[in-house]
Amino acid sequence: MAEISDVFFVDGMRTPFGRAGEKGMYWKTRADDLAVKTIIGVMERNPAVPGDRIDDVAIAATSQTGDQGLTLGRSVAILAGLPNTVPGFAIDRMCAGAMTSVTTMAGAIGVGMYDVALAGGVEHMGHHPIGANADPNPRFVAEKMVDPGALNMGVTAERIFDRFPQLTRERSDRFGMLSQHKAQAAYEAGKIQPDLVSVAVKDAEGAWGLAVEDEGRRPETTMAGLAALRTPFRPHGRVTAGTSSPVTDGATMGLLASSHAVKELGLAPKMRLVSFAFAGVQPEIMGIGPIPSTEKALAKAGLTIGDIGLFELNEAFAVQVISLLDHFGIADDDPRVNPWGGAIAVGHPLAASGVRLMIQLAAQFRERPDVRYGLTAMCVGLGQGGSVIWENPHYNGKKRK
């Protein structure tokens, strides 16, 4: 008899994120092979979980074609050496793909259908630029359902500036600079590296190397340097490369389990799922999507924003994050927010990013037993937001000294 269960994030790993394009470290690496590495990494780090106990594998990709096609969850599971008895599927919610992989598997675990599942995402934006093979229905524009600019994420970010005058370019620049500095400090302190799985890569000359860290970081970023950057999405605009996530390749994977599996296999979960929610907004200002999704997730959990002690917010654009912070009355430089930097520094391989947020939050939970709840949230193309609230199993109720 199936029983309702808690859902636990047992572990997660990811590849280092690489710059997309011919000069990026993954130009000669297949997307599905990136995802394979994450499954192998997670399973090797969790030997108490037998491969045949995986009930399902969900892998997200925004462009499900070429080396990101062929039902990724199933094909990658086979390539990673999981038993043929393990099924799998592919999923797409653009930027929130991996987040949706997790919440979909969480639903199955929560109602007692699954005990153990793998959930993640991959995006090789070098091989598959966003929207490259898409054919948007002409009715979107002809019937004025969606403004043409809604399909350009940079344009939607400029529109957030238009709507909220208090969100200035200077604030956005400062947030982008701090993301770079915080990510570099986290690297120097060894915070990020333990959850990275190394990937063998081949360069343009055919020489082999090893990808061991995120490629696109710019720790030397200054406010003066950011102020001099051009605004590619609009003349005299406010969105620049320095306040946007770079175009990125990478993969992520999370291991989820039920209460029964945690007990039976002797697992030590890193987080417990409290609630999740997705919400829709006008596609033209998709960046504000995490605001209503976070409000829904908080309501479902019976919590307020004041209960959240750590925030991992995906930095598709700096203005998108500070719009959420403003809404909830949180300072741009609040130490609870993206303490190890974010996507502006390390990259945003679309469908993979949701689990990166979870991996970083889980690592921070271990260091912060004074924090009970954390939030992972992100905006989603075509006008959506996704939010997941997690509980820290290390919480001890004591205030930080």
Q: Which residues are catalytic?
A: 95, 348, 379
Token readout for 292 is 């209503």
Token readout for 184 is 């570099």
Token readout for 316 is 């598709």
Residues 6+ positions from 59 with CB-CB distance below 8 Å:
35, 72, 73, 76, 88, 89, 90, 91, 101, 119, 120, 121, 122, 253
Candidates 330, 331, 356; CA nearest to 343 is: 356
Contact of 341 with 363, CB cutoff 8 Å: no
Give the CA angle between residues 373, 379, 382 to the nearest 5°.
150
Residues 6+ positions from 170 with CB-CB distance below 8 Å:
223
Instruction: Provide the 3-class DSSP secondary structure of residue 375.
Output: strand
